[in-house]
Structure 1
Amino acid sequence: MAAPAAKPHLVFFPFPSQGHITPAFQLARLFHHCHGFDVTFVHTEHNRRRLLRARGPDALAGAPGFRFVAVPDGLPPSDEDAARDVAALLLSLPTMVPHFKELVLSELPAASCRRLLVSDVDPILRAAEEIGLPCVTFWTTSASSFMAMQQIRHLVAKGLVPLKDAEQLRNGYLDSTVIDWAPGLPKGMRLRDFPTFIRTTDPDDAVLALTLRLIECYRTVPSAVVFHTFEELESQVINAMSDILPPIYAIGPLPLLLRETGGGDDAASTSAGSSLSKENRACLDWLDGKRPNSVVFASFGSLVKLTGEQLAELAWGLASSGYEFLWVIRSDQKAAGGTAVLPPEFLEETEGRGCVTSWCPQEAVLRHGAVGAFLTHCGWNSMLESVCAGVPMLCWPFAADQQTNSRMACTEWRVGVELSEDPGREEVEAAIRQVMGGGRGEEMRRSAAEWKDKAALAARPGGSSWVNLERVANEVLAPLMDKKRVC
């Protein structure tokens, strides 16, 4: 009797930080639940330990056909729950390559020869090419930021990057230099709106070199590129990228697709989660007692750290606005010695109208009717969750792709107001009042509601993202695994 055919097997290897892990896990759940792919999801050892501390042993229990493995990240061992430094992670990625190859060639189930890699990690994608493993890139941030990163090599060729001297970071040069030739991007894009990897004066800058190598990899190595977005939101840039990339597919927002397909109800999702920090759900109870659109939600993701002065200015801006607020301040944001980071006078003044927590179920918070505005660092997961909830944003970008995301939200989608790079309390207060009330706030709320409806339509059966999910499974993944086998 012939042996049963091996099931298609997807190996997910996301960049090992929270903003990449979450959407990769969501996409893995979709392919497992809707299309029957077996999945091996790869964490680093550091993140595996964080998951176990945050969510308990069930976090990595997996389910039939869905399992978790871990590889070393090449950095000094650490049991702290703080995120690894991004630059250090980038430089450590090559050390993961031999562990990845061993995983694929020796440790995956022997019958699972029909394998394919889904990743956004340059050395891992190149390693897959070396061993004949077909691969697809999953770009976890906006399509606009991807196009902006594609332009970095042109900025270098034109002599705009690296910067001539550090003074160009402070003298208005980044604001006054307009880049109007990037395909699919707004004509008024400033150099400031491009990913912050360009903000160096060193021609041998290691992170800039890695960025250029990464972009080249995406153009040449994978058989397709999947973007976590939806066509209606970024149609111009998606159309423009068809000339420079392998086949591209917009599949998002993933939380909406999971709800539409029932992918949130299967064992892989209920027995495991992707949050590396323990969530405090008590803040949802606090929100239950608030009026609709009355609360400002402030959160800066898993990596951004504010200085003590920035925290104080933001705190007094929130206090002076007069609005109630929910503020996420991570445990690793503590001052030296673990002391409180907020002024006692602020806590006294805002007693009863403010809630501060170390981490929260952000998607549920944004969907709560009491939340009227989102003060965000403009990480892409946060922005998509805000779009899905129809919540306007106060945009305070810090690094990487966040500047590009902020520009699009504020000038193209008209759902946000941008703060300066180092806003004082008066600017924070004014921006909150602008978004929470008045004519500008109402205009942004209407735009946010329209984008919320478009996102929901994209994720429904027959919508653009639903159709693209089917196309990737049937036109990209299955044919690739039929052509190449790594056994």
Structure 2
Amino acid sequence: MVNDPNMKKPHAVVIPYPLQGHVIPTVHLATKLAARGFAVTFVNTESIHHHTILSHQNTHNNNGNDNDNNDNHDDDIFAGARASGLDIRYEVVSDGLPVSFDRSLHHDQFMQAVLHVLSAHVEELLRRIVADADPPVTCLVADTFFVWPSAIAKKLGIPYVSFWTEPAIIFTLYYHMDLLINNGHFSSKEKNRTDTIKYIPGVASIEPTELMSYLQESDTSSVVHQIIFKAFEDAKGADFVLSNTVYELEPDTISALQIEKHFYAIGPIFPPGFTHSPIATSLWAESDCSYWLAAQPPRSVLYISFGSYAHVSKRDLHEIARGLLASKVRFIWVLRPDIVSSDEPDPLPGGFLEESKGRGMVVQWCSQKEVLSHPSIGGFLTHCGWNSILESIWCGVPMLCFPLLTDQFTNRKLLVKDWRIGIGIGELNSVSKEVVSKRIEELVRGKEGEEIREEVKKVKIVLESAISPNGSSTKNFDQFVSDLMNYGRKMDGDHQVNNGGHVMS
């Protein structure tokens, strides 16, 4: 807790990037700050808020939980947290598009709005909050992928805390894009080089095919590239960087970053109790899989999910589905409605549901943490999103890796090559049912799966130790709070000196 009686209660304005995989850890960070004695104002976009409320209501209606204590979410997803004593206020802001706009189907238009329009709405809201807030705003905590936080924070005279929701290796590769460009491994006028990259500080070596997807592309004129370039230029102005990773998992990378930035590894950021949070964060209604899972033998079920954002081609989806059928392994498969496209409501191959009846369950969405923590789960076929990886490790579940987009290719390198807790199943547009079937059987029933499961147990201990009372992430979070408070006092002092005419020449 922040207990100094002479210190004003700190107040953080926290803004997540408006995508499911970013909102979840940011909500958990907000509750972590509030539990530490901060007042927190959490800012969602109107679209995220609308879909969260709608999915929460549908989840409880579908599962017959009409009397659940957490149904008080009509206008404020933090109502339950506030009832437990946490000082979390809630605001929503327009991202510049109507709530009804299909952001999945029109991705580039959505990203254009996030790049060009959202900042004006955020700045207007922040000016009001900073002017009226009690206690006064101490800092802005915003996702690193925004292009405006450093500039707005400077205008408002408050520190900017950049929140990085992915591994440190991804941050440092983006942070050092200039080195990749200068060495011809990215944005080359000719074809990008294919030799091993060995010059990024804190990264011993990485193959070009292991870079994030956006750093493998030759055309860098897309809206996403514009966002990445501008966001990491802005990130250089961040006063602090918090990262949802663990020092012991990436010691060399983090140590190198700390030479350049106030970089704090404070992960994994989970809700207390891990499986259940009093705050609604899902954008889709969740199915209750517990009854089906309870009827399955221990470690016999493969859980499959490709996350909340990236899309799978119909071709690859069909190969994976046919490989799954051939493996004869039990499964729960999360297929969100837009997994291929909003225009493709029935992406599975014909006859799949009939052929798998009795040994499989296909749902649009579920509580991933609750499923992964069930003893019947024997493996996780994942897109290698960072939230999914941390949750799988925490539950001791080995992984099959099929990255689709952005950081997921680099995350696969960490899982398969560095930590040896995952198996690759193939590449985009070339994955085959034969390899998928073989890898599933190896993971769930084979010797390699047992070996990987033992490695996952070791990494799980690293995560548990990091957030223990004397763990590295706990100490790093304590250090961040202390550094932030000292920085705030210094800014207040500088402001008083400058306004008081006592500047030393």
- Interval containing the TM-score (normalised by the shorter chain): 0.7 to 0.9
Distance in 1 between residues matched to 2:363 and 2:471, nearest whole Å:
37
The corresponding residue for 1:240 is 256
Distance in 2 between residues matched to 1:87 and 1:431, nearest whole Å:
38
Alignment of 1:392-471 (within 5 A): 392-422=398-428, 423-471=431-479
Deviates more, 1:313-322 or 1:99-108: 99-108
Q: Report if aligned partners of 1:394, 1:431 keep a CA contact under 8 Å in 2.
A: yes
Unaligned regions of 5+ residues in structure 2, if any? 1-5, 58-71, 496-505
Distance in 2 between residues matched to 1:408 and 1:248, nearest whole Å:
20
The corresponding residue for 1:116 is 139
Deviates more, 1:21-30 or 1:208-217: 208-217
- Find out whether 1:11 has 2:13 as its counterpart: yes
Q: Report if aligned partners of 2:50, 2:99 keep a CA contact under 8 Å in 1.
A: no
Amino acid at match of 2:134: A
The corresponding residue for 1:92 is 114
Distance in 2 between residues matched to 1:137 and 1:249, nearest whole Å:
10
Amino acid at match of 1:313: E
Distance in 2 between residues matched to 1:14 and 1:357, nearest whole Å:
27
Q: Report if aligned partners of 2:139, 2:160 keep a CA contact under 8 Å in 1.
A: yes
Q: Report if aligned partners of 2:164, 2:242 keep a CA contact under 8 Å in 1.
A: yes
Q: What are the superposed Cα offsets for residues 117-175 of structure 1, whole Å, 9 maximum, x if unpaired?
A: 1112221332112221211111001111112222322121223322557xx6xxxx77x
Deviates more, 1:420-429 or 1:17-26: 420-429
Distance in 1 between residues matched to 2:109 and 2:414, nearest whole Å:
25
- Find out whether 1:200 has 2:208 as its counterpart: no
Alignment of 1:20-59 (within 5 A): 20-33=22-35, 35-56=36-57, 58=73, 59=76
Amino acid at match of 1:322: K
The corresponding residue for 2:266 is 251
Q: Secondary structure at the match of 2:233?
A: helix
Distance in 2 between residues matched to 1:76 and 1:456, nearest whole Å:
42
- Find out whether 1:69 has 2:91 as its counterpart: yes
Deviates more, 1:38-47 or 1:209-218: 209-218
Q: Report if aligned partners of 1:94, 1:123 keep a CA contact under 8 Å in 2.
A: no
- Find out whether 1:291 has 2:297 as its counterpart: yes
Change in CA separation of 1:336 and 1:45 when aligned onto 2, cut-off 3 Å: closer
Q: Secondary structure at the match of 2:283?
A: coil
**2:187 is matched with which residue: 139, 156, 162?**
162
The corresponding residue for 2:62 is none
Residue 404 of structure 1 deviates from its aligned partner by: 0.7
Change in CA separation of 1:91 and 1:61 when aligned onto 2, cut-off 3 Å: closer
Residue 380 of structure 1 deviates from its aligned partner by: 0.6
**2:154 is matched with which residue: 129, 142, 146?**
129
Q: Report if aligned partners of 1:180, 1:186 keep a CA contact under 8 Å in 2.
A: yes
Choose between structure 1 and 2 for higher RCO, CA contacts under 8 A separated by at least 6 residues. Answer: 1
Q: Secondary structure at the match of 1:450?
A: helix
Residue 373 of structure 1 deviates from its aligned partner by: 0.9
Change in CA separation of 1:337 and 1:156 when aligned onto 2, cut-off 3 Å: closer
Residue 105 of structure 1 deviates from its aligned partner by: 2.0
Change in CA separation of 1:240 and 1:179 when aligned onto 2, cut-off 3 Å: same
- Find out whether 1:104 has 2:126 as its counterpart: yes
Residue 86 of structure 1 deviates from its aligned partner by: 6.7
Distance in 1 between residues matched to 2:150 and 2:283, nearest whole Å:
24
Distance in 1 between residues matched to 2:415 and 2:394, nearest whole Å:
13
Q: What are the superposed Cα offsets for residues 211-256 of structure 1, whole Å, 9 maximum, x if unpaired?
A: 233223222x121111101111111211121222x21111111117
Q: Report if aligned partners of 2:105, 2:342 keep a CA contact under 8 Å in 1.
A: no
**2:163 is matched with which residue: 117, 120, 138?**
138
Deviates more, 1:463-472 or 1:135-144: 463-472
Distance in 1 between residues matched to 2:375 and 2:180, nearest whole Å:
44
Deviates more, 1:232-241 or 1:399-408: 232-241
Change in CA separation of 1:71 and 1:274 when aligned onto 2, cut-off 3 Å: same
Deviates more, 1:290-299 or 1:342-351: 342-351
Q: What are the superposed Cα offsets for residues 92-125 of structure 1, whole Å, 9 maximum, x if unpaired?
A: 3332222222222224544332421111222133
The corresponding residue for 2:285 is 278
Q: What are the superposed Cα offsets for residues 419-458 of structure 1, whole Å, 9 maximum, x if unpaired?
A: 3223111111111122223332121111001111121111
Change in CA separation of 1:192 and 1:86 when aligned onto 2, cut-off 3 Å: farther
Q: Secondary structure at the match of 2:303?
A: strand
Q: Report if aligned partners of 1:323, 1:353 keep a CA contact under 8 Å in 2.
A: yes
Q: Report if aligned partners of 2:179, 2:200 keep a CA contact under 8 Å in 1.
A: no
Q: Report if aligned partners of 1:287, 1:370 keep a CA contact under 8 Å in 2.
A: yes
The corresponding residue for 2:239 is 223
Q: Secondary structure at the match of 1:309?
A: helix
Residue 322 of structure 1 deviates from its aligned partner by: 1.4
What's the TM-score once normalised by structure 2's chain length? 0.85
Change in CA separation of 1:482 and 1:54 when aligned onto 2, cut-off 3 Å: farther
The corresponding residue for 2:197 is 179
The corresponding residue for 1:479 is 486
Q: Report if aligned partners of 1:21, 1:274 keep a CA contact under 8 Å in 2.
A: yes
Amino acid at match of 1:457: S
Residue 200 of structure 1 deviates from its aligned partner by: 3.0
Q: Report if aligned partners of 1:162, 1:200 keep a CA contact under 8 Å in 2.
A: yes
Distance in 2 between residues matched to 1:70 and 1:155, nearest whole Å:
38
Alignment of 1:257-272 (within 5 A): 258-259=272-273, 270=278, 272=279
Distance in 1 between residues matched to 2:284 and 2:87, nearest whole Å:
26
Q: Secondary structure at the match of 2:161?
A: strand
Q: Report if aligned partners of 2:310, 2:339 keep a CA contact under 8 Å in 1.
A: no
Distance in 1 between residues matched to 2:404 and 2:455, nearest whole Å:
24
Q: Secondary structure at the match of 2:148?
A: helix
Distance in 1 between residues matched to 2:180 and 2:103, nearest whole Å:
37
Amino acid at match of 1:250: A
Amino acid at match of 1:99: H
Q: Secondary structure at the match of 1:232?
A: helix
Amino acid at match of 1:72: S
Change in CA separation of 1:437 and 1:32 when aligned onto 2, cut-off 3 Å: same
Distance in 2 between residues matched to 1:102 and 1:5, nearest whole Å:
28
The corresponding residue for 2:347 is 341
Q: Report if aligned partners of 1:287, 1:368 keep a CA contact under 8 Å in 2.
A: yes
- Find out whether 1:328 has 2:322 as its counterpart: no
Amino acid at match of 1:45: E
Amino acid at match of 1:462: N
Amino acid at match of 2:110: A
Change in CA separation of 1:17 and 1:337 when aligned onto 2, cut-off 3 Å: closer
